Amino acid sequence: GAGVSQSPSNKVTEKGKDVELRCDPISGHTALYWYRQSLGQGLEFLIYFQGNSAPDKSGLPSDRFSAERTGGSVSTLTIQRTQQEDSAVYLCASSTSGTGPRTQYFGPGTRLTVL
Amino acid sequence: QKEVEQNSGPLSVPEGAIASLNCTYSDRGSQSFFWYRQYSGKSPELIMFIYSNGDKEDGRFTAQLNKASQYVSLLIRDSQPSDSATYLCAVKHRGGADGLTFGKGTHLIIQP
C-alpha cells in the first residue's frame, strides 16, 4: 500500500473516442485531485474530491471532462470525444484532510496521446 | 487570475555550490507553499512545504517565505548532479478548492 497508483500508464486513442483514466489514492487519504500537464506547461488543476462532499469541478476545461469517485476511494476521469489538445499527462494526487498544509502526493501519471 | 511565476531557466550551477530557486505569487491570501521536484518523464515529488514567514530547513534544502513581498524561494546547498531536475513551486490559496496552483517550473542543471 505504497503511493498513489494510476492506470493505464500510457493511452493512445483516436480523435473522437472516449477514454477513462483511473486513480487509486493512498489508503486513508480522503482528498483526491486530478491535474494535467501539457508539454512545456505547468500542472493545471482539474477537479478535487473531499470525502463524500460534492466535487470541486472548477478546473475542468470543458463539459467533455467528468470524474467520479466511488466509495470515497478510487476515482475515474473520463474524457469524451477526445481532441488532440487533450494530449497531456494526467496526474492524480491524494492528501489527508486534517489541519495543516495537506500535502499532496502524486501518482505516476497517465500519458494520453490523441491522434 | 491567481498566478505563480517562476523563471523557466535553465539555471546552471556548479556541483557543490548553492542553487537558488525563486517564485512569486499574485494572491496575497495564499496560505501554504510547496516545492516539488520533477525529473524528466516522472511525476512531481514533494521536497518541502512552508506556511510561516521565515526560513525552514530540511537537510540540504531551505525554503524561505516572505508574504509581504509575495515571494518564496528554495535554496539547495552542496548541489549534486542528482539535483538536476525541474523544480515546481505550488501555492494553496485561502478558501476555495484545495487544488494547488503551480508555476511552470525552473529547470536546474548541476554541472559536475
Dump pLDDT digits (tens) for A6-20.
999 999 999 999 999
Of B43, B92, B104, the CB nearest to A101: B92
Residue range B19-46, pLDDT digits in tens = 999 999 998 888 899 999 999 989 999 9
Compute the distance between CA of residue A50 and CA of residue B61 in angstroms, rounded to an integer. Answer: 31
* pLDDT digits 0-9 by tens, A77-109: 999 999 999 999 999 999 987 766 778 899 999
State the pLDDT at residue A42: 82
- pLDDT value at position B19? 97
A24-59 burial code (b ≥16 CB/10 A, e <16): bbbeebbbbbbbbbeeeebbbbbbbbbeeeebbeeb
Residues B52-89: tens digit of each pLDDT = 899 999 999 999 999 999 999 999 999 999 999 999 99
Instruction: Provide φ and ψ at B73, rounded to 5°.
Output: -135, 165
Closest residue, chain A, to B92 (C-alpha): A101
Q: What is the pLDDT of residue B93?
A: 75
Looking at residue B97, its pLDDT comes to 57
The dihedral built from the CA positions of residue B1, A21, A12 and B8, taken in this order, carries a sign that is: positive
Q: What is the pLDDT of residue A100?
A: 67
Query: Are the CB atoms for A12 and A18 separated by under 8 Å?
Result: no
The band of B99, judged by pLDDT with boundaries at 50, 70 and 90, is confident
Q: Which chain A residues are closer than 8 Å to B4 by Cβ?
A: 42
- Look at A106 and B92 and tell me if their CB atoms are within 8 Å: no
Q: Is the pLDDT of residue B98 over 70?
A: no
CB contact, 8 Å: B1 with chain A?
Answer: no
Task: Give the A:B interface size as CB pairs under 8 Å.
Answer: 66
- How distant is the Cα of A41 from the closest Cα of chain B, in angstroms? 6
Q: Distance (Å) from the C-alpha of residue A63 to the closest C-alpha of chain B? A: 19
Q: What are the phi and psi torsion angles at B53 (to 5°)? A: -55, 145
Residue B51 corresponds to which cell in the numbers above?
506556511
pLDDT of A36-73, one tens digit each? 999 877 899 999 998 888 888 888 999 999 999 988 78
